[in-house]
Structure 1
Amino acid sequence: MRGAIADDFTGATDLAGNWRARGLRTAVALGVPTAEDLAGLAGHDAVVVALKIRSAPADVAVAQAREAARALAGLGCTQVYDKYCSTFDSTPEGNIGPIADALLEETGARSAVVVPAFPDAGRTVYQGHLFVGSDPLDRSPMKDHPLNPMWDSRVADLLRPQTAHPVAEVPVGVVHTGEDALRAELARLEESGARYVVVDALDNDDLAVIARATADARLVTGGSGLALGLPPTGRTLGPITAVPGRRAVLAGSASRATQAQVQAAREHLPHVKVDVAAVLADPAGQVDSLLAWAQERWAEAPDRPVLVYSVGDPDDVARGRAVTADASAVVEGLFAALAPRLADAGATQLVVAGGETSGSVAHGLDVAVLEVGQLLSPGVSWLTGRRRGADDVNLVLKSGNFGTVDLFTTAWEELG
């Protein structure tokens, strides 16, 4: 069985969707799985443990990652895939390095590759620099990220402040020579003392070479793209079953991609913007108000999704709305409280935008395990959420940066 640890929920479903695309029956455990959860995961080909630690203090993140690694070992996983964002979202005080350091210890690995590349989503690494489309990371929209602004594109330089271990690089020319050459270079660098090796990757063929060269490694780290380097099993997995009911979109991300998705959806869907000040003044009252609004819209058109969002256009970001850490926490709390109320009112199909928002919604719904279904676009899949003591729901939990611009209006077509 393959096992992975993801630092947020959308990253977990992103990776799980890529594994499923290779023919692996994949599940996502939300949080460190209990003994009961582990028993239910044993029949899968791959399991991703989704943690909500991307913005957590390093000591908290490390403790949870260690627990998750031990749970995966109990399932029989011999390789741990340490999954973080493909844009390496993290400040110099961030926790990507400390988590990887802890997993080196837990797995007994002497070294690990660092592969944030995800070419299908426009993330590539060339000469050690991470690109978003044609732009180096520090010249991409990520340079203005409200919580983790990225001011450097060299992955090794981003990682070094977070770890005491040496970091090396492998250029794409070695990758293009083939898996044997890459394996030999990784072994040489490990013998010279490197514990992390940033490997260039420009396309999925490069990811396939890296995946083969590290097939026996106890630990690999990166974005979800490396999963696409696995050879396909040849197995065809059918779509998940749609749970009949009402539909809603909950968008808590401030990313430019989500802003564009919100703007496109407002042309077609009934929509309401979260009033952060009103939520601060009366959180329970705002949940009641949003629920009543949604029920009124469903009464008018039962099959039409409703859209609740926090940031709708760049002016909102410029004014600082819903993008500070405190305001983001308020929005996450609102969606965590609103989601189960919507579900109780008959909403069984939810599209959620934003990593932190997705984690909050999943917690609010008390989802224990996600079964991964059909892929909508790179990094975005339909899921079935298994709730504790309640009926199942269909979910899309997407990173703020992912998904087509029309996702909020077209996702339902793929669910049926």
Structure 2
Amino acid sequence: MKENNLNREVVVIADDLTGANDAGVSLAIRGKKVSVAFRTPFTGDTDALVINSDSRAMVASEAAEKLALYAAEIDAAAWLVKKIDSTLRGNPGAEVEALLTISGKRQAIIAPAFPAAGRTTQGGVCLVKGIPVTETEFASDPKTPVRHAQVAKVLAEQTALNSVVVTPAQLAAALQGDTPLLIVDARTDAELDQIIDAVSDGDERPLLVGSAGLCDALARRLARPRQLLAVIGSMSEIAQQQIQRAGEVAGVSRVLIDIDDVFRHEMAGYLQQIATALAAGQHCVVHTCTDGQARHQIDSVCQQRGLSRAALGETISAFLGVLTRKALESHTPAALYVSGGDVAMAVASALDAQGFAISGQVAQCVPFGRFLGCRWQGPVMTKAGGFGTETTLLEVLHFIEEKMSD
């Protein structure tokens, strides 16, 4: 893996600055941390990286060569997007072919429609307020005039890759075929959403090629959820009170870890419980202690297992760390909350975090920030096990539901 890659959720390559900003703004509005880069490598902490290649007015071969410079930035991106102009100006054919080569992706979905701005695609023809783009002012653009209204003809000027025109309803079947360029009609935002839905669940995500309309649809799909995944390993009395109070609130699901399962390495059932809770829009609190009295049974458990207190704690923490990592691999809650120093470090280790960037404080004794250098780039909140009041976890839930949704 490239040294400067931070496993970003989204990487967008745009060919001018205003297009780059248009591509990123909807992701930012929906809770993502978005950065627009003028040059690379870019090592900043960001959910979505938008790179301005400034290549719209270049000749096609130069534009393709410039995109090759971004190979390290797109490596391991969960979503790769080529932002193009909704009226097909620039070098879409050359740049799409270049990105397919660089990324190793088999297919590109090309959907230039931007319905909110009156730009639609019907029968593979780019329309501006119902008129073919070649009959509008864009045909005489002083820098990058548009010579064809048919998307396929625009692409064919710069690439020999085969293309086919499909509707959103036909897209799923086309993704099973061998045609590398899939031009998809769209007249509404709902049809753009349908395009994103068609590619979201596949094993291999194609290159997305579109204007701000398709970027907006992707942002709607990736909108930051409002659920909290809380992992609490502390057995302190105040931690148990916090769990109890949170569990009394509607929309909170509790997952109790059986210590015997820790030693049997049985994790699948807990992952299913977590997945079910998050998928239902609930907060999920994972904990290892039933009540404040359980801490007095530690010596008995240690004697049964032939372990010291420290070894028992390390085993439980390591289990919770791996459980958290696997849960985050399949679901993306609004934030992660870890209580107990050993558990917090075990989670960080399981995620291969290189550090922690502090952003502020959610509640008393609850700093929040982000792990550095790992795939999980959502907000992280930490709390020492014995700190806070019985309402601390409730305050965190309030922060997730109210302030993070603003």
TM-score normalised by L of structure 1: 0.48
Specify the structure having the higher radius of gyration (Cα): 2
TM-score normalised by L of structure 2: 0.50
